[in-house]
Amino acid sequence: MDVALDSLKFIDLTTANVIFLFIVGFIGGLVSGFIGSGGAFVLTPGMMSLGVPGTVAVASNMCHKFPKALVGAIKRFRYGQVDIKLGLVMAASAGVGVQVGIKIQNIILDAWGQAGSNLYVSVSFVAVLVVVGGYVFYDAMKSSKGTGVDQTPALALKLQKINLWPMIYFKTANVRISLWFTIPVGFATGMLAATIAVGGFIGVPGMIYVMGVGGLVSSASELVIAFAMGLGGTVNWAMHGMVDIRLTLIILAGSLLGVQLGAIGTTLVREVMIKIVMGSIMLIVAVSRALAMPKYLAQLGLLDIDPGYVSIMDKVSFGIMCAALALGAAIILGAMFKARKAMARQAAQEAYSQA
């Protein structure tokens, strides 16, 4: 059966397009399986660079994100890292955050148009990533110089001591905290997911530094949040007929391989590696988005800049974004390789000493 597709909505699939989507899907999956999120941010601009309309790119990306998160969550649940209750409590407030985030986006879109909306997204990206990513990276460096074992942050310890009804105990995370302190973290996760499509950049550090959950359980439980939000978002987009299932299936083919490898990686490396990867990616992506800002400022008439420079900065910005993802994947694979080598050496030594 040969059906002509609407060329405004569906791109032609070439071999190069398929390979690009598969590879980005694999690397994105690897990073998501390891840090709980962060793999999807390259896919939307990546698909748009292939000519996919923005809404179809967002919808198709989201449609691949929730099954990937589901598979990653199941895998990490088997390793005893997922706190389902924590994920679901966070997902509930994140759902509200998504709705508020979309409302704010619409208000900005009506007031300042597409360029204003893009500028708001970029400013949010840079502000959140520099502040949160900078702190995560600083903390990771501090931990890696020490024992590599995470201490419960001071803020989280203070909040856990406040007995404000209703108190919730998260068994796998081994944290008892008031519901009222989980709500802002979940809400901010949803807001960020609606704004920059990667809620985990707030969700995971929020669970670590505000609630006092360990890095492993935070990144694993983030997959539960990503699944719940992704499924809800996909139903919404699919009802409007915005999903290009061909793109989703190709990305999913790569990301299901990657997400499982990333999940395996969390059991092999030190816990601090999660913070190192997350902090590195966040800081590099912040640079990428900062380079995209002059274009939107020029479109709003707030900056006078040569269009040639804007075009170059746009390309450099996308290149840096891809580099951030590739660097994250390289750190994960490098750490896994080193850990496996050390395990093999230890096993050989044990065998030698027994002989």
Partner 1 sequence: MAHELTKKQALVRMISFGIASAAVYGAMFQNASAFAEMCARGGLYSAMPIAAVFLVSYVHGGFASNLWTALGINAKSPAKTVQATQTKRPEVRATLNA
**Footprint of partner 1 (CB under 8 A):** 1-5, 9-10, 13, 63-64, 66-68, 70-71, 75, 78-80, 231, 234-235, 238-246, 248-249, 252-253, 256-257, 260-261, 263-264, 267-268, 339-340, 343
Give the whole-angstrom CA distance, residue 242 versus residue 239: 8
Q: Which two tokens stand for residue 287?
A: 């640079």
User: Residues 82, 217: contact at Cβ < 8 Å?
Assistant: yes
Give the whole-angstrom CA distance, residue 229 versus residue 248: 17
Residue 169 C-beta: closest distance to partner 1, Å? 22
**Between 2 and 306, whose beta carbon lies closer to partner 1?**
2
**Between 104 and 268, whose beta carbon lies closer to partner 1?**
268
**Between 242 and 325, whose beta carbon lies closer to partner 1?**
242
Residue 6 C-beta: closest distance to partner 1, Å? 8
Residue 206 C-beta: closest distance to partner 1, Å? 26
Give the whole-angstrom CA distance, residue 250 versus residue 43: 12
Residue 214 C-beta: closest distance to partner 1, Å? 14
Give the whole-angstrom CA distance, residue 150 versus residue 212: 10
**Between 78 and 315, whose beta carbon lies closer to partner 1?**
78
**Between 172 and 260, whose beta carbon lies closer to partner 1?**
260
Give the whole-angstrom CA distance, residue 201 versus residue 218: 11
Residue 80 C-beta: closest distance to partner 1, Å? 7
Residue 158 C-beta: closest distance to partner 1, Å? 31
Residue 84 C-beta: closest distance to partner 1, Å? 17
Q: At what angle do helices 215-239 and 84-128 cross, to 10 degrees?
A: 80
**Between 27 and 210, whose beta carbon lies closer to partner 1?**
27
**Between 13 and 109, whose beta carbon lies closer to partner 1?**
13
Give the whole-angstrom CA distance, residue 208 versus residue 136: 10
Q: Which two tokens stand for residue 128?
A: 């959140």
For residue 349, give the H/E element and its range: helix 307-354
- Helix or strand or coil: residue 73? helix
Give the whole-angstrom CA distance, residue 68 versus residue 70: 5
CA dihedral 135, 138, 139, 140 (to 10 degrees): 120
**Cis peptide upstream of residue 166 (ω within 30 degrees of 0):** yes
Of 82, 91, 85, residue with least CA distance to 186: 91
User: Residues 216, 81: contact at Cβ < 8 Å?
Assistant: yes
**Between 63 and 156, whose beta carbon lies closer to partner 1?**
63
Residue 56 C-beta: closest distance to partner 1, Å? 8
